[in-house]
Amino acid sequence: MKKLASVSLDLDNQWSYMKTNGDAGWEDLPSYLDLAVPRILSFLKERDMKVTFFVIGQDAALEKNRDAIRSIADAGHEIANHSFNHEPWLHLYSKEELVSEFERTENALESITGKRPVGFRGPGYSLSPAVLETLGERGYEYDCSLLPTYIAPLARAFFFLNSSKMSDEEKAKRKKLFGKFSDGFQSLKPHFVRSCR
């Protein structure tokens, strides 16, 4: 049977949305994985679907989430790297910060699944030449951090409209959230990036 599509799911946890939005209490890392993951797996099993789950390293590092994440791997789905801290300003990280971010997530995921992730998606579709370079050096096979859409500026404007309590510094970190208008011209098909500089 010919495959018609590739399906992936960002397993963004409750705390990650709270953090991006600047909400108090995110530091306690509230989770809904124990509730959401069984429902998602049941939905996929009924449809005989295998997908890629982009998992946040911080969640994999917490004992309370290990069973939920292990159940994803046990069901035969791919688990890929979605960064450790889920900060949509990943594109601002230094090389050393990127290495640490990827390594911590790789270690946490491998301790649960026994496999090192080979795919990556930046939180908030954050991407930079340094991100791609670091992924290449670490042996990643693919990156899914592009969001080929023209509505990114609208989504970002809506986000900022509802985030008035953020400082100017916090808003500056999030200024590339969801990508940029020109990303709408990117290919929808898998492609190799020769140089992103």
- 79 forms bridges with which residues in the sheet? 53
Q: Which residues constitute the domain of residue 26?
A: 8-146
* Share in percent of the chain as helix, strand, coil (round to 5): 50, 10, 45
10 Å Cβ neighbour count for 36? 14
Domain membership flag for residue 89:
yes
The pLDDT assigned to 156 comes to: 65
pLDDT band at residue 56 using 50, 70 and 90 as cut-offs: very high
Model confidence pLDDT, tens digit, residues 14-24: 999 888 777 89
Question: Is 155 inside any structural domain?
Answer: no
pLDDT at 52: 97
Structural domains of the chain, count: 1
Residue 2 lies inside a defined structural domain of this protein: no
CATH of the domain at 13: 3.20.20.370
Q: Looking at residue 197, what is its pLDDT? A: 38
Residue 144 in contact with residue 54, Cβ under 8 Å? yes
Is 33 a domain residue? Answer: yes
Residue 145 token pair: 């951090």
Tell me: pLDDT of 68 over 80: yes
- The confidence band for 112, taking pLDDT boundaries of 50, 70 and 90, is very high
Cα separation, 155 vs 174, in Å, equals: 12
